[in-house]
Amino acid sequence: MRLRQLALSAVVAVAALTSALTTSLAMAQAPVQFFPSLTGRTGAVAPNAAPFANGYADYMKLVNARGGINGVQTLVEECETAYATDRGVECYERLKARHGGATVFQPLSTGITFALMPRLAVDKIPMITSGYGRSDTADGAIFPWVFPLLGHYWIAGDVVLQHIANRSGGWDRLRGKTIAVVYHDSPFGREVLPIINRRAEMHGFTVLALPVPPPGVEQRAIWLQIRQQRPDFVIMQTWGVMTATAIRQAVATGFPRDRMFGTWWSGAEPDLRDIGADARGYSAVMMQHGQARDSEVVRQILAQVHDRGQGTGPRAEVGDVLYMRGVVGAMLAVEGVFRAQERFGRGRHVTGEQARWGYENLNITQARLDQLGFAGVLRGPIVTSCRNHVGTAMMRIHTWNGSGFDWSSDWLQADMNVINRMVTASAESFARDNNITRRTEPGC
């Protein structure tokens, strides 16, 4: 009897081991879709960049909890850049061929974006640059591998100015005014200037350009100049500690916060939370979404990710502005793969080149956004094409109330007649300088 029991136990153990090995092998052979994540969890931008990375990772986990991309599981691997261009390039090279090949990169840095652009066509990997990078990459016929989905800086600048004009009683009321632009002295910061200068030419206001050396913790001279020259409004194209420093200096010099307007990287909770009531009235343009703690997608992330002990960062930040920007970035990355699978095979891994087709042929309807949990967060449709790599130009403004943000505008649409002419002219200039031929195949 004892021998029979031992034999039976051995058979059960072997069967269990065989089953485990079979399951592990099946998991190893199951297709995965790799989404590399270039993070900024350290350095001066960490309070702002870390929530983005957390939201990005959590949404990918939610996608897997929902069943993956038609059964294909997402896989995220991070590489820390600390917002440094050289480290961003190193991360790209390290990750681009891992796990069957990168689907898409989202560098979260204009400097890293500029450095990676020449490599994309060679490696056949697309890049999503929602709200950063070169604005003229909206022209996909010149920049086939770059997708500034939902918005770029010329859209941001145009909508901020539109909001200021609306508050002032119309564009004609800006004639003779002075608008200061406090900006990160880098490609990121300078990218907003062309649309502001163009609008100044059109509407007769003066631009006072005030570059701030990064990281931007010393701005007293800048704000002394603002106090002396007394501009009517201040637009801020800042990031990380630079934003909070600027607002503290505005408080110290007495510049009214309700005449200060940030772009979307200059208007999140880490920028204002510690300043509190003193920052009341400060506003920023949002790339559609703001904080979204009451949204369905946040409820699902809490229930299916955080409540299961799988959350990437602190539960308290889930739904905050920059966390949601990571969630939206992940959603766009995944929806492009869903679209690519419609053409290249449902339930299959898609290559970076195939994913590029998906991003160029998006049609994310409002019904689809609502299905994904983004009702009240995003406004559809988001429709791309060979010539249009943005998909939408609808924005909103939110304003700090002393402890959080409230919407302070209806939906605003950038003037694409002005912006598209700028985009085309700039893209054509880039093409001439770099011997690039505009795509003319069907669809372009």
pLDDT above 50: residue 9: no
Q: What is the mean pLDDT of residues 423-442?
A: 94
**Is the domain defined by 32-151+292-392+414-443 classed in CATH 3.40.50.2300?**
yes
| Burial of 130 per CB tally in 10 Å (0-12, 13-18, 19+) | buried
289 close to 328: Cβ distance less than 8 angstroms: yes
- What pLDDT is stored for residue 440 in this prediction? 87
* 119/336 Cα distance (integer angstroms): 21
CATH 3.40.50.2300 residue ranges in the chain?
32-151+292-392+414-443, 154-286
DSSP assigned state of 72: B
Share of the chain above pLDDT 70, in %: 93
**Is the domain defined by 154-286 classed in CATH 3.40.50.2300?**
yes
Distances (CA, A) of 222 to 141, 183, 218, 245, 412: 40, 11, 9, 11, 31
- List, for residues 375-411, the tens digit of each pLDDT value: 999 999 999 999 999 999 999 999 999 999 999 999 9
pLDDT above 60: residue 15: no
For residue 29, name the pLDDT band (cuts at 50, 70, 90): low
- What pLDDT is stored for residue 13 in this prediction? 39
| Averaged confidence pLDDT in the chain | 93
- List, for residues 310-343, the tens digit of each pLDDT value: 999 999 999 999 999 999 999 999 999 999 999 9
For residue 441, name the pLDDT band (cuts at 50, 70, 90): confident
For residue 174, name the pLDDT band (cuts at 50, 70, 90): very high
Q: What is the mean pLDDT of residues 336-364?
A: 98
- Decide: pTM greater than 0.85: yes
Q: What is the mean pLDDT of residues 221-241?
A: 97
Q: What is the SS3 assignment for 281?
A: coil
> Which of 51, 17, 47 has the alpha carbon at shortest distance from 330?
51
- List, for residues 57-91, the tens digit of each pLDDT value: 999 999 999 999 999 999 999 999 999 999 999 99
- What pLDDT is stored for residue 18 in this prediction? 36
pLDDT above 70: residue 20: no
| Burial of 281 per CB tally in 10 Å (0-12, 13-18, 19+) | middle
